[in-house]
């Protein structure tokens, strides 16, 4: 009896016992559907969360001045040393980030990412338009042409800052949604453009309005006026300032490499030798994203456990069914052996049968799981998701379940004595 014949006989047996095979297939299909469905849903949520956090600037980081006196002096390396009662110049550890260093970093950082230079102005300004004014809690931020993208802002109307605005430091600005609503009321956003507002008594021409972003941290991201960092430096009495550098990666997964590259490049800009500690800090924006995506990863593990437990139950049920099949087909096995069939061929037939049942259940379960998972994806507005890795894992698991569940019944059938089997009632 050839291998092909064994396979066809196993297929015929599965088809002839529709109810028994169907129940086992349904149990296996349910386990795989739970596994693939939950995994697909989690992947859809994961993609949606990554896209959402990316739009909020969560796949970025900021290089800022390391203020060593913010929480007290560092006893291990004093910021200033006293010699003969006179203070020496500040050490490299207290060096603020200059515009030249920020610009050099932007020119020399070649990792595939957007780089923005920023300078924060006052956090408690009043903005005036004719007789209307805001509360004295508007933040003034200075940036460049990449500032909006790096910080997750989007334009509702108007244009972004351009390189000419930045280089010249001319008085143009982009209004946050709350500021625009306070000053201009229910007018259309296009009507705000080219109007002049007063910031610290200085007229600024409105060139853009931001889409509402909502609250973040302890304040609203919509209560803001954005201009160029050169304009902030020119019009604000900030004294000895320190610039910050924002970097937006293409995706969250590239953050570690991007940070490592940025650290190396900026250390060169700061003329630090290998033994010097960093005199700047890197603040990542993806803390919340990491937490939530980590939670989704835990759910993925729980889904895998649920699917595997269900499949273990299915494997026990399949083994019982195959043992019943051995009892029912004892005479058939005896007849095959009597006409010259070998034990290995008997094993193959029963193993083919159990594996076929398991794989049919796997295929049905995978299709149902993808459909169920993508219903969640549709509700989230994400793209169509197919978890190929888990599909392969599911097929391999079901193949193992089929072989494992059919092994003992196959061995039992192959060891039947043909004479006793033919006499079996």
**pLDDT digit string, tens, across residues 3-55:** 666 677 667 777 777 777 788 788 888 878 878 888 888 777 777 666 655 55
Per the prediction, the chain carries an average pLDDT of 79
Mean pLDDT of 328-355: 72
Question: What pLDDT shows up at residue 95?
Answer: 82
217: left (phi over 0), alpha (psi -120 to 50) or beta: left
Tell which residue, 152, 384, 118, has the closest CA to residue 228.
Answer: 118
pLDDT at 81 over 50: no
Cβ-based neighbours of 381, under 8 Å, separated by 6 or more: 48
pLDDT at 57 over 60: no
pLDDT at 249 over 80: yes
How does residue 417 score in pLDDT terms, banded at 50, 70 and 90?
A: low
* Cα–Cα distance for residue pair 339/332, rounded to 1 Å: 11
391: left (phi over 0), alpha (psi -120 to 50) or beta: alpha
Mean pLDDT of 71-95: 46
How does residue 70 score in pLDDT terms, banded at 50, 70 and 90?
A: very low
Reduced to 3 states, what is the DSSP secondary structure of residue 176? coil
How does residue 264 score in pLDDT terms, banded at 50, 70 and 90?
A: very high
- Residue 151 corresponds to which tokens in the numbers above? 């910080």
* Cα–Cα distance for residue pair 210/230, rounded to 1 Å: 21
């Amino acid at each position: 009896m050839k291998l092909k014949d064994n396979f066809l006989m196993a297929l015929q047996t599965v088809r002839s016992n529709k109810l028994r095979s169907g129940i086992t297939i349904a149990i296996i299909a349910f386990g795989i559907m739970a596994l693939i469905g939950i995994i697909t849903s989690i992947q859809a949520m994961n993609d949606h969360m990554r896209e959402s956090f990316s739009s909020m600037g969560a796949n970025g980081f900021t290089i800022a001045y390391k203020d060593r006196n913010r929480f007290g002096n560092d006893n291990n390396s004093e910021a200033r040393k006293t010699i003969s009662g006179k203070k020496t110049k500040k050490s490299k550890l207290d060096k603020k980030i200059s515009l030249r260093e920020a610009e050099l970093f932007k020119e020399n950082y070649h990792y595939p990412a957007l780089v923005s230079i920023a300078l924060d102005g006052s956090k408690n300004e009043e903005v005036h338009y004719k007789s209307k004014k805001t509360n004295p809690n508007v933040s003034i931020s200075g940036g460049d042409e990449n500032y909006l993208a790096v910080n997750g802002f989007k334009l509702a109307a108007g244009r972004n800052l351009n390189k000419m605005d930045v280089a010249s430091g001319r008085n143009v600005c982009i209004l946050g949604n709350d500021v625009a609503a306070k000053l201009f009321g229910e007018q259309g956003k296009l009507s705000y453009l080219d109007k002049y507002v007063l910031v610290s008594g200085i007229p600024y021409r409105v060139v853009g309005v931001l889409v509402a972003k909502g609250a973040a941290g302890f304040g609203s991201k919509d209560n803001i006026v954005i201009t160029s960092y050169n304009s902030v430096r020119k019009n604000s009495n900030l004294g000895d300032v320190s610039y910050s550098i924002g970097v937006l990666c293409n995706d969250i997964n590239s953050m570690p490499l991007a940070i490592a590259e940025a650290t190396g490049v900026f250390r060169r800009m700061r003329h630090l030798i290998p033994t010097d500690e960093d005199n700047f800090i890197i603040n990542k924006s993806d803390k919340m994203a990491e937490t939530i995506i980590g939670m989704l990863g835990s759910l993925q593990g729980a889904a895998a456990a649920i699917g595997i437990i269900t499949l273990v139950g299915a494997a026990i049920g399949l083994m019982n069914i195959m043992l019943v099949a051995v009892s029912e087909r004892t005479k058939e096995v005896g007849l095959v052996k009597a006409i010259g069939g070998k034990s290995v061929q008997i094993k193959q037939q029963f193993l083919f049968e159990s594996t076929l049942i398991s794989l049919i259940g796997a295929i049905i379960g995978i299709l149902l799981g993808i459909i169920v998972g993508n219903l969640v994806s549709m509700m989230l507005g994400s793209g169509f998701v197919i978890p190929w890795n888990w599909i392969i894992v599911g097929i391999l698991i079901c193949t193992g379940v089929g072989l494992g569940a059919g092994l003992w019944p196959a061995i039992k059938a192959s060891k039947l004595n043909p004479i006793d089997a033919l006499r079996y009632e």
